């Protein structure tokens, strides 16, 4: 992942701060006392993702073998990092401060490198959590990227991917972002040619959160749900031509999710009635999306959804180097 850094060092000026008066041969002389530098702060944007295609090929060693095409989108959480004695996390949603992947990522990185550095972390949450957009996983990857910079660890992307794979199947993808083929337990990432600017309309139904939802959904899968990669392969052929055909989308959980989330079928029906060319599921749901090539059509669809009383979001595709890590004084 390309990290775009822009920061300037604080300069001390002779006019800054109080002066220390020193007696020299009975005379006073002034020596400036520079102001202390502000602690360096890193700000990183953690993008959400959608699964253009999500297949499960089978199960091995108690893990499901996924075969999926991930796409990063410009719906982002924002994380801010400063050096500290301990690892601490503050978030406007207190429920997210406990058992959070951000803290787990920081602690794992410290354990792997055998260091005792700390960080004060602030999480500004904009990605709806627990709906299949990968917000928690993206926050974890952003933490690895930011602390690698803040702590001066100089780990490569491949090393960060290896660490990320210990945090969850979606986390490694977010080290790269963009458009990627994701295989195995999520640890095998193959960057793909970026999509041309593509628009997505998201509908996040206000349904009750399900604890351990992703794990529960995977436990419901059996051999009848396994496929042979034909959906991903068809989509890859299309992507190589620089386009995506919405008719090629597929999600293994669509066979299960409407039983797990009562009422979701009604939201899908209303989404279609508003004019969505096709309604797809991302991750293990319940977030629904459709794909449009023109921003104006996306905005028209959102307006129709609003008239139906459905909240929706317009987002667009991101390239891998659209992820931004900024260093500020």
Residue 91, pLDDT above cutoff 70: yes
Q: Of residues 77, 139, 157, 170, which has the active-site annotation?
A: 170
User: SS3 sequence, the chain?
Assistant: CCCECCCCCCCCCCCCCCEEEEEECCEEEEEECCCCCCCCEEEEEEEEEEEEEEEEEEEECCEEEEEEEEEEEEEEEEEEEEEECCEEEEECCHHHCCCCHHHHHHHHHHHHHCCCCEEEEEEECCCCCCCCCCHHHHHHHHHHHHHHHHCCCCCCHHHHHHHHCCCCCCHHHHHHCCEEEEEECCCEEEECCCCCCCEEEEECCCCCCCCCHHHHHHHCCCHHHCCCCHHHHHHHHHHCCCCCCHHHCEEHHHHCHHHHCCCHHHHHHHHHHCCCCCCEECCCCCCEEEEECCHHHHHHHHHHHHHCCCCEEEEEECCHHHCEEEEEC
Q: Are strands 87-91 and 118-124 parallel, antiparallel or unpaired?
A: parallel
Q: Model confidence over 220-245: pLDDT tens digits?
A: 999 999 999 999 999 999 999 888 88
Name every residue whose Cβ is closer than 8 Å to that of residue 299 and which is 6 or more positions away in sequence: 314
Q: What is the mean pLDDT of the chain?
A: 87
Q: How far apart are CA 33 and CA 23, in angstroms?
A: 16
Is 49 assigned a catalytic role?
yes
Overall average pLDDT of the 105-113 stretch: 97
183 within 8 A of 41, measured Cβ to Cβ: no
**In 3D, which of 158, 197, 192 has the Cα closest to residue 177?**
192
Name every residue whose Cβ is closer than 8 Å to that of residue 232 and which is 6 or more positions away in sequence: 53, 55, 67, 68, 69, 181, 250
**In 3D, which of 123, 146, 121 has the Cα closest to residue 44?**
146
Q: Give pLDDT, residue 321.
A: 57
From the options 3.30.230.10, 3.40.630.40, 3.50.50.60, 2.60.40.10, give the CATH code of 41-192+319-328.
Answer: 3.30.230.10
Q: Give pLDDT, residue 62.
A: 87
Q: Does a cis peptide bond (omega within 30 degrees of 0) precede residue 284?
A: no
Indicate the fold that domain 199-316 takes in CATH. Answer: Alpha-Beta Plaits (3.30.70)
Q: Give pLDDT, residue 167.
A: 97
Name every residue whose Cβ is closer than 8 Å to that of residue 212 and which is 6 or more positions away in sequence: none
Q: How far apart are CA 175 and CA 144, in angstroms?
A: 8
Listed by start position, the domains of the chain span: 41-192+319-328, 199-316
CA 11 to chain centroid: 35
Residue 283, pLDDT above cutoff 90: yes
Q: Which tokens is 324 given?
A: 């931004």
Q: Which tokens is 199 given?
A: 């628009």
Q: Give pLDDT, residue 193.
A: 93
Beta-bridge partner residues of 120: 82, 88
Residue that is written with structure tokens 């039983």 in the block: 259
Q: Model confidence over 32-61: pLDDT tens digits?
A: 545 555 668 999 999 999 999 999 999 988
38 vs 315, higher pLDDT:
315
Q: Give pLDDT, residue 244.
A: 87
Residue 136, pLDDT above cutoff 70: yes
């Amino acid at each position: 992942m390309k990290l775009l850094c822009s920061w300037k060092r604080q300069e001390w000026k002779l006019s800054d701060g109080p002066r220390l008066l020193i007696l020299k041969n009975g005379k006073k002389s002034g020596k400036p006392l520079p102001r202390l530098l502000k602690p360096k702060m890193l700000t990183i944007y953690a993008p959400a993702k959608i699964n253009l295609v999500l297949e499960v090929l089978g199960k091995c060693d108690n893990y499901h073998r996924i075969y999926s095409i991930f796409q990063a989108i410009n719906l982002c959480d924002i994380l801010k990092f400063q050096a500290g004695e301990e690892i601490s996390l503050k978030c406007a949603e207190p429920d997210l401060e406990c058992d959070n992947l951000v803290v787990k990522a920081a602690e794992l990185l410290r354990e792997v490198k055998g260091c005792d550095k700390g960080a004060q972390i602030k999480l500004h949450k904009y990605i709806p959590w627990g709906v299949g957009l990968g917000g928690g996983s993206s926050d974890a990857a952003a933490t690895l990227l930011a602390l690698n910079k803040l702590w001066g660890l100089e780990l490569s992307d491949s090393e960060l991917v290896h660490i990320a794979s210990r945090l969850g199947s979606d986390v490694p993808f977010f080290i790269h972002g963009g458009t990627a083929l994701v295989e195995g337990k999520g640890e095998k990432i193959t960057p793909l040619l970026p999509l041309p600017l593509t628009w997505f309309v998201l509908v996040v139904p206000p349904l009750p959160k399900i604890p351990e939802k992703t794990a529960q959904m995977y436990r419901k899968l059996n051999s009848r749900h396994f496929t042979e990669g034909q959906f991903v392969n068809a989509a890859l052929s299309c992507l190589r031509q620089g386009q995506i055909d919405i008719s090629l989308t597929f999600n293994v959980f669509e066979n299960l999710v409407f039983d797990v989330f009562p009422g979701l079928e009604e939201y899908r029906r209303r989404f279609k009635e508003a004019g969505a060319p096709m309604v797809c599921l991302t991750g293990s749901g319940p977030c629904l999306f459709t794909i449009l090539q023109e921003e104006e059509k996306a905005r028209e669809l959102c307006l129709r959804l609003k008239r139906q009383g459905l909240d929706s979001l317009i987002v667009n595709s991101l390239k891998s180097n659209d992820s931004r890590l900024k260093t500020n004084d």
